[in-house]
Amino acid sequence: GAVVSQHPSWVICKSGTSVKIECRSLDFQATTMFWYRQFPKQSLMLMATSNEGSKATYEQGVEKDKFLINHASLTLSTLTVTSAHPEDSSFYICSARDQGRGGSEQYFGPGTRLTVT
């Protein structure tokens, strides 16, 4: 149980275009999901906390108008990278907590590798 999926697993886009990444909790409901960004050989940096039915909470330094987050249902959160530039190329990973199980561990999706050319 507690599986999180992401789509797409990788995407290449041209500079200036927008890319949408989906994060789904497959067998549990997640009122809260988290979006991370990881550059090669670096740690996971939390970008934002996605809350179902309300606005996302962004970390300091993360542009909310550039990284649009929508958490419209208890099983789906989306991250849209708007007007992508090469410096946005990174590994984007979402995670969710299965609060229904009472645990505090986070289950991570397989990640989306974004390359902006």
Partner 1 sequence: GQQVMQIPQYQHVQEGEDFTTYCNSSTTLSNIQWYKQRPGGHPVFLIQLVKSGEVKKQKRLTFQFGEAKKNSSLHITATQTTDVGTYFCAGRRGTASKLTFGTGTRLQVTL
The residue ranges that bind partner 1 (CB under 8 A) are 32, 34, 36, 41-46, 49, 60, 93, 95, 97, 104-111
Q: How is residue 10 annotated by DSSP?
A: E
Q: Considering the complex, state which of residue 58 and residue 82 has its C-beta at the smaller distance from partner 1.
A: 58
Identify the bridge partners of residue 11 per DSSP, sorted by sequence position.
114
CB of 84 to partner 1, least distance (A): 22
DSSP string, 62-112: --TTTEEEEEEETTEEEEEE-S--GGG-EEEEEEEE-GGGT--PEEEP--E
Q: Considering the complex, state which of residue 32 and residue 80 has its C-beta at the smaller distance from partner 1.
A: 32
CB of 33 to partner 1, least distance (A): 10
Q: Considering the complex, state which of residue 49 and residue 70 has its C-beta at the smaller distance from partner 1.
A: 49
CB of 15 to partner 1, least distance (A): 25
Task: Report how far apart, in Å, the C-alpha atoms of 115 and of each of 22, 40, 53, 95 are.
Answer: 16, 12, 30, 21
CB of 17 to partner 1, least distance (A): 25
